[in-house]
Amino acid sequence: MLKALENKILKEGIVLNEEVLKVGSFLNQQLDPSFIMEMGDEIARIYNDEKITKILTIETSGIPIAFAAGTKLNCPIVFAKKTASSNVSGNVYKSSVYSFTHNKTYEIIVPCEYINKNDRVLIIDDFLANGKALLGLIEIVKQADAHLVGCTCAIEKGFQKGGDSLREQGFRIESLAIIDEMSPAGITFRCN
Ligand code: 5GP
Q: What is the distance of C-alpha 97 from the center of its chain? A: 13
- Asked whether the predicted pLDDT for residue 158 surpasses 70, the reply is yes
The count of other CB atoms within 10 Å of the CB of residue 171 is: 18
178 CA → ligand 1 middle, Å: 13
- Asked whether the predicted pLDDT for residue 122 surpasses 70, the reply is yes
pLDDT of residue 124: 98
CA-nearest residue, atom 23 of ligand 1: 127
Q: What is the tens place of the pLDDT at every residue in 10-68? A: 999 999 999 999 999 999 999 999 999 999 999 999 999 999 999 999 999 999 999 99
> pTM for the complete prediction?
0.97
Protein residues whose CB sits closer than 6 Å to any atom of ligand 1: 20-22, 28, 61, 99-101, 125-133, 162
pLDDT of residue 95: 96
Average pLDDT over residues 68-83: 97
CA-nearest residue, atom 12 of ligand 1: 127
Alpha helices in the chain, H assignment, sequence order: 3-12, 33-46, 62-73, 132-144, 162-168
Cα(161)–Cα(157) distance, integer angstroms: 8
CA-nearest residue, atom 10 of ligand 1: 127
pLDDT of residue 64: 98
pLDDT of residue 142: 98
pLDDT of residue 84: 67
Please provide the average confidence, as pLDDT, over all residues in the chain.
95
Average pLDDT over residues 117-137: 98
130 CA → ligand 1 middle, Å: 8
Contact 74, 138 (CB under 8 A): no
Atom from ligand 1 closest to the CA of residue 97 = 2
State the pLDDT confidence band at 191, using cuts at 50, 70 and 90: confident
Average pLDDT over residues 150-154: 98
Cα(7)–Cα(187) distance, integer angstroms: 11
